[in-house]
């Protein structure tokens, strides 16, 4: 994946660039909003990481301008502030995701991967399939092999999100945001308990594990190799 990083703090930028390069990605870094505008509109990036505070052109304005010029590349905002309305402002400006500093690299990586491979326009999929697990988004039915599985609405959303990101790690925070719309970190192990319920329901009849825990990062659903 090719990533543009717009970040004026050299240390943070180096941290992101190094991490991405180690993961086999290509990362371009600029510190100035105006340079970023030029690069973003003239290169086909998979995803752009934008710091909210930038010299030259403020992050929100930069993304608005990029969107205004017709570039649909997914944008992830970074900010040092955990402002209670910054997330809304960022998404309103045309951002696709939002991450508050300080962050774990695994969190950023998971979010970038989810953004980069997101189809530009949501396809009208009605069925998702991983190995012998199949869910129907219209009838909201879940089948593992021949076995019908009964899920609670929230468990269905959890599974749907995992399956939409098949083979990609999703973090605990991403799940909280997308499944429950919780933009905070609960002290109680909500995600863990739901994943564990989901697993036991999916693995009825001693089926093989599909949802894997990635230590220190999150969860991934993938077909057994």
Partner 1 sequence: MSFVRLPRIMRTASFGLAALYALLFSVSVLLLGAVVYWTVQASLDRQVTDRIDAEIDLLQQEFRSEGLQDLVREVNERTAYFPALSYLVVDANGNRLTGNLPKIPRNLGWSDIETEDTGSAVEKQFRVRSVVLGDGVRLSVGDDVGPLEEIQEAFLEALGSVLLVFLLLTLSGGLLLSRGFLSRVDEITQTAEAIIEGKLSSRVPLRGTDDHFDRLSRTLNRMLDRINALVESLSHVSAEIAHALRTPLGRLRQKLEAARADATRSGQNETLIDAAVAETDTILDTFSALLRIAQIEAATRYRGFRQLDLSALFNTVADAYSTAAEDEGKQLVAEVEPGLLIWGDRDLLAEMLANLLDNAIRHTPKGTRIELSLKKQGSKLLASVADSGPGIPAEDRKNVFRRFYRLERSRTTPGNGLGLALVAAVAELHCIELRLDDNAPGLRITLAFEAHQTEEQTLSKQPGDESARIVRAVSNWR
Residues near partner 1 (CB under 8 A) are 53, 81-85, 87-89, 100, 102, 152, 154, 180-190, 192-194, 196-197, 216
The CB-of-196 to partner 1 minimum distance in angstroms stands at 8
The CB-of-125 to partner 1 minimum distance in angstroms stands at 25
- In the bound state with partner 1, the residue whose beta carbon lies nearer, of 81 and 208, is 81
Cβ within 8 Å of residue 102, ≥6 positions away: none
- In the bound state with partner 1, the residue whose beta carbon lies nearer, of 16 and 195, is 195
- In the bound state with partner 1, the residue whose beta carbon lies nearer, of 38 and 184, is 184
CB 8 within 8 A of CB 55: yes
CA–CA distance, 10 with 113 (Å, rounded to integer): 23
What DSSP string runs through 31-99?
SSHHHHHHHHHHS--SEEEEESS-SSS-HHHHHHHHHHTT----EEEEES---TTHHHHHHHTT-SEEE
- In the bound state with partner 1, the residue whose beta carbon lies nearer, of 39 and 53, is 53
**φ and ψ at residue 151, rounded to 5 degrees:** -115, 150
CB 26 within 8 A of CB 2: yes
- In the bound state with partner 1, the residue whose beta carbon lies nearer, of 11 and 85, is 85
The CB-of-70 to partner 1 minimum distance in angstroms stands at 26
CA–CA distance, 188 with 137 (Å, rounded to integer): 29
- In the bound state with partner 1, the residue whose beta carbon lies nearer, of 214 and 223, is 214
How would you classify residue 36: left for phi > 0, otherwise alpha for psi between -120 and 50, otherwise beta? alpha
CA–CA distance, 21 with 44 (Å, rounded to integer): 18
The CB-of-4 to partner 1 minimum distance in angstroms stands at 22
The CB-of-202 to partner 1 minimum distance in angstroms stands at 15
- Longest alpha-carbon distance in the chain: 60
The CB-of-179 to partner 1 minimum distance in angstroms stands at 9
């Amino acid at each position: 994946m090719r990533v543009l990083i717009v970040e004026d703090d050299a240390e943070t930028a180096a941290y992101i660039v190094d991490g991405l390069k180690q993961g086999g990605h290509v990362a371009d870094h600029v510190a100035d909003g105006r340079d970023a505008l030029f690069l973003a509109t003239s290169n086909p990036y998979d995803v752009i990481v934008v710091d909210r505070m930038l010299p030259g052109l403020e992050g929100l304005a930069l993304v608005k301008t990029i969107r205004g010029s017709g570039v649909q590349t997914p944008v992830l905002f970074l900010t040092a502030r955990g402002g209670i309305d910054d997330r809304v402002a960022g998404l309103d400006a045309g951002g696709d995701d939002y991450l508050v500093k300080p962050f774990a690299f695994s969190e950023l990586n998971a979010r970038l991967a989810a953004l980069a491979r997101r189809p530009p326009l949501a396809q009208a999929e009605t069925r998702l399939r991983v190995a012998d697990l199949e869910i129907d988004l219209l009838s909201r039915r879940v089948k593992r092999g021949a076995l019908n599985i009964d899920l609670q609405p929230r468990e269905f959303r959890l599974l749907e999100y995992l399956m939409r990101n098949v083979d990609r790690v999703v973090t605990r925070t991403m799940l909280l945001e997308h499944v429950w719309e919780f933009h905070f970190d609960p002290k109680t192990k909500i995600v863990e308990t739901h994943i564990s319920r989901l697993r036991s329901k999916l693995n009825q009849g001693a089926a093989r594990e599909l949802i894997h825990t990635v230590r220190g990062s999150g969860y991934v659903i993938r077909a057994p190799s």
